[in-house]
Amino acid sequence: MKEILVSKSDAGTRLDRFILKQLDRSSQGFIYKMLRKKNIVLNDKKASGNERLEENDRVKFWLSDDTFETLSTDKSEKIKAIQETGRSKQNFDFKANIIYEDEELILVNKPENVLVQKSDRKDISLNDMLLSYLAEEKKIDKESLKSYTPSICNRLDRNTTGIVIAAKTLAAARILNMIINDRSIKKEYLCIVSGKAKEEAIISAWLRKDEKSNTVVVDKDEFKAAKPIKTAYKRLYTDGTYSLLSVELITGRTHQIRAHLASVGLPIIGDVKYGDKDANASVKKKYGIKNQLLQAYRITFPKLEGDFSYLSGKIFESSIDKKFMEILKEYTWQHGSPED
């Protein structure tokens, strides 16, 4: 017999899904058969599988050790693979770039040229680095991975820098995904654009993604298969040629900030897909900049209830990217210096 005590991170999970995490090599049919025969019980009582678990519930498996091991993947191999991946990471110290961490979540400042999720098996992603860090710090082990594998909750383009949010527990993943999807968490971006922007504006348009080219098309008028987009910005500084903007996404679509600003004559400096070629060539020659100057620099949590109420209204910021600062210090900006 094996007994598993339900952890805080598994609270709220359906019993059948919890069992399938433990016996991930079995089938649903086998699980329900074991429940009917009372070979798997919840708090010493027969269960149907659709019960929602609470912290400290007890799930007992009246199965032989051999059967349990045969039907359960050895997570120690996963830990070993995670650590091997971590040793392969290059030019990025995950721990040094953590903005905030508690038992539920991590906020990390992502540099440019780092993928959040793999696009190819050989890629080393930020998600890999997250797991490697947690394994090295002994914050995950083979038992915890049976319940939940920590993961990144929001995405940034490969060459966009700034705050990325990761959930360390299943409960955190549920809350974070909810406030990201309903857009109640406020995310603000900094970017340097070519052109003198208005002091502030809310712009609307229509956007369609081209899967083949991994680009988007934006037009002010509705067109076939396009989705509505809305972007707000405030001009922080300008020298008449370039402008530093604070941008908030009201809707969230692929490449929205980059393509939307470009469509109104404010292309982001360094953006090879939607930017101005002459402006990009100029900053590349002078500063060596090859990627878009776009940074997710601030997030503000909405009001939250229960276990996550401690995050309500909290604001987190990342330090301004070095390449941003190099350009900002170079020019004389209206409304004073960015360092004022």
pLDDT digits (tens, 9 = 90+) for 34-67: 999 999 999 999 999 999 999 899 999 999 888 8
Phi-psi region of 24 (alpha: psi -120 to 50; beta: other; left: phi over 0): alpha
User: Residues 270-315: pLDDT tens digits?
Assistant: 999 999 999 899 888 888 888 899 999 999 999 999 999 999 999 9
- Strands 294-300 and 161-167: what pairing? parallel
The label of the residue with tokens 């002459």 reads 278
- List of E strands, the chain: 2-5, 40-42, 58-61, 98-101, 105-110, 151-152, 161-167, 186-194, 200-210, 215-219, 227-238, 242-249, 294-300, 315-317
DSSP string, 123-149: ---HHHHHHHHHHHTTS--TTHHHH--
Residue with tokens 């900002």, as numbered in its chain: 328
Query: With contact defined as beta carbons under 8 Å apart, do 126 and 158 qualify?
Result: no
Tokens 């394994």 sit on residue: 135
Q: pLDDT tens for the chain, 340 residues: list them.
A: 888 888 777 788 899 989 988 888 889 999 999 999 999 999 999 999 999 999 899 999 999 888 887 888 765 566 666 666 655 555 678 999 999 999 999 999 999 888 888 777 777 889 888 988 998 898 988 777 877 889 999 989 989 999 999 999 988 999 999 999 999 999 999 999 999 999 999 999 999 998 888 899 999 999 999 999 999 999 998 888 889 999 999 998 999 999 999 999 999 999 999 999 998 998 888 888 888 999 999 999 999 999 999 999 999 999 888 888 888 777 656 554 444 4
Indicate the pTM of the whole model: 0.78
